[in-house]
Structure 1
């Protein structure tokens, strides 16, 4: 019996190692040569990337990790997921192809957006997969059974902006479907190693450090700070940088927070690049067990004030269950706090076009 159990455990261990090593969704690993290129970054220390606050993220002890795992898998959350599939607005591919004047955004749920600006098509954190995990068996499915538009029907994409390498933001299947129609991928330092592992040409990848700026045709992108972490497997935590993004045209300015805990960087970004016409701010997947890497809704509203946004939109919710709050908790709490702070909030349905210049609630609480 003991021999059989030992053989079984060995087989599980070997299978797990081989799965992580060869399954393509895990992406690439930084070579020593590549790491040497990042030594000039203020965020790259002792071979890994770090937040400005030294103690973030806090490395949990083994017992804390067991507690978090137990709570996540065995705690019953009231209204943790929608009772039925979320309805999404369908997008007309011809309408997308012919829009060359209006600045318009379309939310795909969670943190994924299509942005049409100055006649350019941009994608932000294009996670279009069903499950935010390395394998479909390892995570819960999306709240909606379809997307506003199939990836194959999207127009040519001029640029993709990616905030970090976690599965709910950087998706292997999505990148494989998109790569032939994308001109340039803009990513934080190190994230390019995953794209290269998935056969995206090096010439199509631009890596940026915090506060670095780049001009793309008629637009300006700035890679800005966030307070988070990275890694697609246990052996490469903190091996790539995480970020927020600033997107500017000659007349409009947009902020995308990526994933981030609340900190002073929001004020710094607002002072340098604000005010913003529109800010997409993380608001979901929070918990008291990880308060420094994801914002609570009240902090999301305050972050909108800090970056000097005229209008904010809560993101990082509405698609996946990745924490222990109800699926509607983020939006109801951020609206309440935003009213106190006198900052307008936009809460569009997934797939509904968002045009800059809209200055308040859309009036439909579609999540109720």
Structure 2
């Protein structure tokens, strides 16, 4: 019996090792030349990146067990009843647009920002499952995206916030790599892109508070309170970030994934006020509140960054926590109202015009509950 158990464990170990080492989904490794650059970053200590103040997710072993039990237990309304509807987007309308600043939400944290003929993709996760294999994750709430990735116009810039599967998708990058002028990532994330065939010349890696100008777009890499990793032993090997995008008179903020912290006020004081802020709100739990904001904190973070209007993101696409799928938008909307923070809650695929922003009164999620 003992020999049988040991044999099974050895076989499982070998299969996992083969899966991790042969599956391109896991991305690349950091070369030593990059590590030398990382050593100059104040956020890089003992071979890994850290949050400001050394903040970490404080879950112990018992918390992990509790979280796993909660995730796999029977839960109410964690997914929509049926397919989540999306607004279809015409490919020619996208390709020919050269007007005022506008955004299109693809669900979760994926956006297309357009202005004056520029096309900027943010965290373009267009895949059906946020995992290295379809069996390891739940499917997207919507069967179809507003537009297929192949129909997107040529992309000037892609911004990536970190290397988790629900933000950096291998197959999406493969489909995008030949139509993108430049990829912008936090330090280290470029290693995955290089592994997937993106030329080194088309990747710019940035540290917190770095800024650059690319084809009339001013871009600032700003802090977030999160973590990184795609495999079994690469936690913290790459950096995570938020982004500030400035173009002419337009100033927008993208939070990436983040727990609530003092960095929001610092970003607001340095680069605010913002015309529009896309703020993480979803896939949270008290067990990991250090790395994902609660909805009420999302509304407060909007005030901290000095946003004229916020939009809750990181919801409406995948089940990655135990709360109901509508809990994020209901709670953040209520708190934003209490704080007098204007909030936008568009449908997936709707155009969001930044020169004519208005608070959404239609609670469209109730139609699919």
TM-score of the superposed pair, with normalisation by structure 1 = 0.97
Shift of residue 123 of structure 1? 0.3
The DSSP-based 3-state class of the residue aligned with 1:195 is helix
User: Which residue number in structure 2 is paired with residue 147 of structure 1?
Assistant: 145
User: Which residue number in structure 2 is paired with residue 265 of structure 1?
Assistant: 263
User: Which residue number in structure 1 is paired with residue 54 of structure 2?
Assistant: 54
Kept in 2: contact 1:151–1:178 (CA 8 A): yes
Shift of residue 136 of structure 1? 0.5
Shift of residue 365 of structure 1? 1.1
Alpha-carbon distance in structure 2 between the residues aligned to 1:364 and 1:255: 24
Shift of residue 61 of structure 1? 3.3
Alpha-carbon distance in structure 2 between the residues aligned to 1:359 and 1:148: 21
Shift of residue 20 of structure 1? 0.5
Alpha-carbon distance in structure 1 between the residues aligned to 2:35 and 2:144: 39
Shift of residue 359 of structure 1? 3.3
User: Which residue number in structure 2 is paired with residue 202 of structure 1?
Assistant: 200
Long gaps (5+) in structure 1: none
Alpha-carbon distance in structure 1 between the residues aligned to 2:356 and 2:342: 10
The DSSP-based 3-state class of the residue aligned with 1:186 is strand
User: Which residue number in structure 2 is paired with residue 14 of structure 1?
Assistant: 14
User: Which residue number in structure 2 is paired with residue 3 of structure 1?
Assistant: 3
Deviation above 4 Å: which 4+ runs of structure 1? none
Q: Would you say how many aligned residue pairs link Structure 1 and Structure 2? A: 366
Alpha-carbon distance in structure 2 between the residues aligned to 1:23 and 1:191: 17
Alpha-carbon distance in structure 1 between the residues aligned to 2:274 and 2:304: 11
CA offsets 1:27-54 (integer angstroms, 9 cap, x no match): 0111333212211101001110000122
User: Which residue number in structure 2 is paired with residue 187 of structure 1?
Assistant: 185
Shift of residue 234 of structure 1? 2.0
1:1-368 alignment runs, 5 A limit: 1-58=1-58, 60-74=59-73, 76-368=74-366
Alpha-carbon distance in structure 2 between the residues aligned to 1:206 and 1:221: 11
The DSSP-based 3-state class of the residue aligned with 1:235 is coil
Alpha-carbon distance in structure 1 between the residues aligned to 2:141 and 2:26: 24
Shift of residue 250 of structure 1? 1.6
TM-score of the superposed pair, with normalisation by structure 2 = 0.97
Long gaps (5+) in structure 2: none
Alpha-carbon distance in structure 1 between the residues aligned to 2:109 and 2:227: 16
CA RMSD of aligned residues (A): 1.1
Alpha-carbon distance in structure 2 between the residues aligned to 1:229 and 1:143: 25
